[in-house]
Structures are given as structure tokens and as C-alpha cells.
């Protein structure tokens, strides 16, 4: 056992003494030691109940003959960090989380890990650590929040964000927004809807690193507790088999996950996180692969914010196993891959089928023939840009308009709320990329306000930052290279014409090369917006959004 390095033999007597200081018995020390990485805290709704999940995991580990040892990680709530300096630290926290789990597992050589995340950067951060360490491991999330209810309709956090725009536009009284605010988030769990957290929890399951149900069982359900116990029991089986994460997360498994991503219409943030996770598995996933998979994978689910359904509906309709089974039926899923259940995917999918075709459509009756996400290329984004095409109104799939240029999110939001953005405009927000932000802030506030003010079918938004999974509309993010690296987006001027053609996967700044060359002469990157601390160091190490915003391998 790996843990023998800190507990076995005469020379490890002092180490055992330290275990005994914490109350561990000789029998507990002799057993396999299972690290339980718990991201519980009191600042994220998706994490407020994770101590209960951890308790269930530890019960399962003990039932199967192991000794669970819990430790913690940090976590940022993207909703609470939104639209102020805090969002500069959200994506950056992903690397800290991965590093912290790695440090704990290398300093204390556990025999295996069970990782308990539940929100935007914590899930991919823990997955990155899992694949970097490559010791037996399994993930079990805290599960999705239930949708709220207002006047007989399901609502969620995005309803509140969009309500701000409606109030500013005079379409809703402020008192009604307060009622919605009180009802939108009814309890614990990752925010209802196919936002980033739920996208990543579903893709963890599709990738095979979480048990069936990981992505969709509601946080408040007793089934979530049973799943956690099952994960605790299952990790002991993985230890005996020495089944490691890289045995599961193969290139075929990543392609499976991308196919599910497209069928679900997941958050555009998956295009940041999935390549970063693959990077830790020593697998290269170019952005072009997303388009390749999208072109042949039908979009089967219309979940909030693009559609009427929520995660509890997806769970009742058969969940991720039903989607995998439906896609496998037409050869879009490799069912020979291994999973954290200790079985091949084909075994996990036996008897699984769609239970509600209103929530999960069949491949013969999709919402769209192509998947939910598209990668756009052109002179404005030579290395690519990302759009959630399943959430774009048909009339905005092809659009040309004048650029309205802003060097920060705050400038853009002030102008939008001031009623100075008109129909047909293309809002460009730059110097918000991984390096320039720093931290590649999510732009949920400007997109939600645009939708709330009734401009969602008339105004596009382009940024080298990124968007929340709750974003809808013609919102194009991850423009690479970013402005801070001298990308073309740095040289867009007010009034320039921009052409967006999502079906053709192109994004074009209609300025000739000679004029662009003139604008680039003498350009220097601006001074860092943050000049000290972690965010400053992050900006020195981070790479482009097109590479998953991973750190450089060398200084």
C-alpha cells in the first residue's frame, strides 16, 4: 500500500504515534488510508451540505474495510464573486485547488482518494488533481439545487440576474424582483440549470470518474446520500484492482464526455475545463475536436437557461446513462471504456433508456442536428472563440454590426444599464482574458442585463473573458489570442464592423490587414491590473483560453 511509506516498520513508530494522537487505533492504521477531499464551506450554496456527503462517504469506506481521513480545499462561489474584483480569482482558484489536493496526497501518501466538490472551479480543480496524481480515486459531488417556483413557473438564479435588467428597463417592479429573489434558490446544491457546475458534474459521470447519478441526483435527495456511501464502498474495490484515473479517462472517454456535452448543451466553460483535465492525463484535446464531435452529435436536451427543464427533470428522465445509451445506439459513444464503477461502460448502460422524451429527445427528434457548443475561427479569433450555439436565437446565428468597445466589464455594464447599447450593436469587452483580467472573468451580468432589457435577439457580445453557464444569447467568449497578448481583439475600434456566422463557424473583423498592421505598430501590453499577490503570479503563469488556461510548463 502507498500509505505504508508513512506507517509501516520500526522506523515509522513516530508516525504511528502521531496517528494515535488523533485517536486512530492500530487496526485503523493498518487498513488502507483513503483521503477524503471535502470542499465544504459556508460561502457556497452548493457546498453548505458537503459535510453530510462526506459523512456518508466515510461510512461507506469504513463498511468496506478502509480508514477515511478527511481534509479540506478552498472554493469560490461564482455567483457571489460576479461583477466585481472577486471574479478575477474564480478561474484562478482552479489551479490552487488542484495544487492543494496534490500537496495533501503527496505529503501524506493515501492509498486512494474520494473527492467531494460541487461548483464551478472546484470540480475541474479536483479532477485535474485526480489525473495528475493518478492513484485510485472517485468523485462524488453534492448534487444540483432544486429549481425555485414563482407564479407556477420554475425559476433559478438566472431569473434574478435577468430580473435586474427588466427592472432597469421598466418591465418589472422592484418589489416583484424581491419576491423572485426570495424564491429563486430554495436550498443547497449547485445552482439549478445546465450551468457550469452541473455541466462539469454531468461530464464527470460521462467521463467515467463518477458513479451513475453523480451529475443529476438532487442535492436534497436521500439518493444522493446513498450515492456517497456507494462511492465510499467502491473506492475500496478500486484500491484492490489498482484501477487508476488514467485507466478510465482515456482519449475515448474524453470523446464520450464531449459528445454528452454537445447533447446536453452544456456551459461554454467546459471548453476551458475539459482540455485542462485532459492535459493532466497527458492527453491533447485541441479545440477543433469540439467542432468535430459537435457536427455529428445531436442536441437532445433543452435545459435552463436555454430551455424550460432543470436537473431534477433530467434525473427523472433517465439522467446521463439515458443520454449515453441513446448516443451509443447510433455509434457516438465508445462503450468499451472502463469506469469508476469497476465495470465497462457497456455494463453500466444495460437496461438504461430515456424515460421522458419531452426532457431527453431521441436522436431522431433532436432540438438541433448539431451539438450545443461551437468553436468559431477568423481574423478576430485565430486560435478560436467559443459560443453556446444552442442558446442563440435563430435570428442571431448570423449577424453583422458595429463594434461597441470596452476595456473592462464595468465599463460595458455601465453603458448597457445606461441604455446606450442599441439593437444591432456588437459589444466587445477586452482585457478580461486569463492574463489580462487577470483571471478571465465571467460576464453573466452584462449578458443577463442585455436579455432582461429585451435585447437578447438583437445584440451580440464578444470577449476574451468568458461566460457563465447561465448565459444565453449570442455571447462569444474565450477569444484567443487575448488582448493582453496582442490578439486582434486589442485593435478593434469603436464602429468597426464585425461579422458573426455561427453555422459557418466564423468570426470576422471587417478591417483590412494593412489597417490592422498600422494599428498594431508600437502597441505594448497595458500595466497589470493587479500588481501583487496570487492574481499577479497567476497572470505570469497562465496560458491562453484556447489551451484551457492551464499553467505554463516552465517559467
Q: Pick the catalytic residue: 390, 468, 480, 546? A: 468
* Alpha helices, DSSP H, located in 82-219: 90-107, 122-133, 157-168, 174-183, 196-207
Residue 470 pLDDT greater than 80, yes or no: no
| Tens digits of residue pLDDT in 404-442 | 999 999 999 999 989 999 999 999 999 999 999 999 999
Q: In whole angstroms, what separates CA 239 from the centre of its chain?
A: 28
- Tell me, what's the pLDDT at 5? 97
Phi-psi region of 486 (alpha: psi -120 to 50; beta: other; left: phi over 0): left
d(CA 261, CA 269): 11
Per-residue model confidence (pLDDT) at position 83: 83
Nearest to 545 by CA among 437, 389, 459: 437
Give pLDDT, residue 503. Answer: 96
Q: What is the pLDDT, as a whole number, of residue 553? A: 86
Residue 261, pLDDT above cutoff 90: yes
* pLDDT exceeds 80 at position 555: no
pLDDT in tens, 475-492: 999 999 999 999 999 999
480 classed as catalytic: no
What stretches of 242-286 show up as alpha helix (H) in DSSP? 245-248, 251-264, 270-280
Query: Taking the model in full, what pTM does it have?
Result: 0.95
Helix axes 174-183 and 157-168, enclosed angle (nearest 10): 170
Percent of the chain whose pLDDT exceeds 90: 93
Condensed to tens digits (0 to 9), the pLDDT of residues 142-192 reads 999 999 999 999 999 999 998 998 998 899 999 999 999 999 999 999 999
Are the C-beta atoms of 427 and 411 separated by less than 8 Å?
Answer: no
Reported as a single tens digit per residue, the pLDDT across 78-103 is 999 988 899 999 999 999 999 999 99
Q: SS3 for 25?
A: coil
pLDDT at 359: 98
Amino acid at each position: 500500500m502507498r500509505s505504508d511509506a508513512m506507517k509501516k516498520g520500526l522506523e515509522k513508530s513516530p508516525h504511528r504515534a502521531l496517528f494515535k494522537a488523533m485517536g486512530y487505533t492500530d487496526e485503523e492504521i493498518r487498513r488502507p488510508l483513503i483521503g477524503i477531499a471535502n470542499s465544504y464551506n459556508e460561502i457556497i450554496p452548493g457546498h453548505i451540505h458537503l459535510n453530510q456527503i462526506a459523512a456518508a462517504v466515510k461510512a461507506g469506506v469504513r463498511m468496506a474495510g478502509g480508514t477515511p481521513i478527511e481534509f479540506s480545499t478552498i472554493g469560490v462561489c461564482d455567483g457571489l464573486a460576479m461583477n466585481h474584483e472577486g471574479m478575477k480569482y474564480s478561474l484562478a482558484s482552479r489551479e490552487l485547488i488542484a495544487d492543494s489536493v496534490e500537496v495533501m496526497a503527496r505529503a501524506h501518501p493515501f492509498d486512494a482518494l474520494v473527492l467531494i466538490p460541487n461548483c464551478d472551479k472546484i470540480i475541474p480543480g479536483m479532477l485535474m488533481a485526480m489525473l495528475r496524481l493518478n492513484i485510485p480515486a472517485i468523485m462524488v459531488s453534492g448534487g444540483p439545487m432544486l429549481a425555485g417556483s414563482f407564479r407556477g413557473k420554475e425559476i433559478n438564479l438566472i431569473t434574478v440576474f435577468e430580473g435586474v435588467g427588466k427592472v432597469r428597463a421598466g418591465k418589472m417592479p422592484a418589489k416583484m424582483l424581491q419576491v423572485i429573489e426570495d424564491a429563486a434558490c430554495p436550498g443547497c446544491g449547485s445552482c439549478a440549470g445546465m450551468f457550469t457546475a452541473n455541466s462539469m458534474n454531468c461530464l464527470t459521470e460521462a467521463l467515467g470518474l463518477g458513479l451513475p447519478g453523480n451529475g443529476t441526483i438532487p442535492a436534497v435527495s436521500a439518493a444522493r446520500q446513498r450515492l456517497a456511501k456507494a462511492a465510499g464502498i467502491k473506492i475500496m474495490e478500486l484500491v484492490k484492482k489498482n484501477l487508476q484515473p488514467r485507466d478510465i479517462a482515456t482519449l475515448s472517454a474524453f470523446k464520450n464526455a464531449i459528445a454528452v456535452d454537445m447533447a446536453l448543451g452544456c456551459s461554454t466553460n467546459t471548453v476551458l475545463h475539459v482540455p485542462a483535465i485532459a492535459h493532466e492525463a497527458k492527453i491533447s484535446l485541441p479545440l477543433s475536436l469540439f467542432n468535430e464531435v459537435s457536427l455529428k452529435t445531436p442536441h437532445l436536451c433543452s435545459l435552463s437557461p436555454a430551455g424550460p427543464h432543470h436537473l431534477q427533470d433530467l434525473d427523472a428522465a433517465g439522467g446521463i446513462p439515458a443520454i449515453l445509451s441513446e448516443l451509443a445506439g447510433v455509434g457516438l459513444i465508445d462503450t468499451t471504456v472502463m469506469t469508476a464503477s469497476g465495470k465497462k461502460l457497456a455494463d453500466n448502460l444495460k437496461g438504461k433508456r430515456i424515460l421522458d422524451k419531452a426532457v431527453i429527445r431521441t436522436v431522431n427528434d433532436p432540438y438541433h442536428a448539431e451539438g450545443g457548443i461551437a468553436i468559431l475561427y477568423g481574423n478576430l479569433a485565430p486560435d478560436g472563440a467559443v459560443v453556446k450555439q444552442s442558446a442563440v436565437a435563430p435570428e442571431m446565428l448570423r449577424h453583422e454590426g458595429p463594434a461597441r468597445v470596452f476595456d473592462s466589464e464595468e465599463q460595458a455594464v455601465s453603458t448597457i444599464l445606461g441604455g446606450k447599447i442599441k439593437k444591432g450593436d456588437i459589444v466587445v469587452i477586452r482585457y478580461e482574458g486569463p492574463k489580462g483580467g487577470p483571471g478571465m472573468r465571467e460576464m453573466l451580468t452584462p449578458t443577463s442585463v442585455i436579455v432582461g432589457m429585451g435585447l437578447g435577439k438583437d445584440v451580440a457580445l464578444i470577449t476574451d473573458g468568458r461566460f457563465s453557464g447561465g448565459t444565453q444569447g449570442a455571447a462569444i467568449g474565450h477569444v484567443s489570442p487575448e488582448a493582453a497578448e496582442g490578439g486582434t481583439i486589442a485593435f478593434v475600434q469603436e464602429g468597426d464592423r464585425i461579422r458573426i456566422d455561427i453555422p459557418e463557424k466564423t468570426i470576422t473583423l471587417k478591417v483590412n490587414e494593412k489597417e490592422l498592421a498600422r494599428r498594431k505598430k508600437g502597441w505594448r501590453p497595458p500595466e497589470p491590473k493587479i500588481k501583487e499577490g496570487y492574481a499577479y503570479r497567476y497572470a505570469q503563469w497562465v496560458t491562453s483560453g484556447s489551451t484551457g488556461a492551464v499553467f505554463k510548463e516552465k517559467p
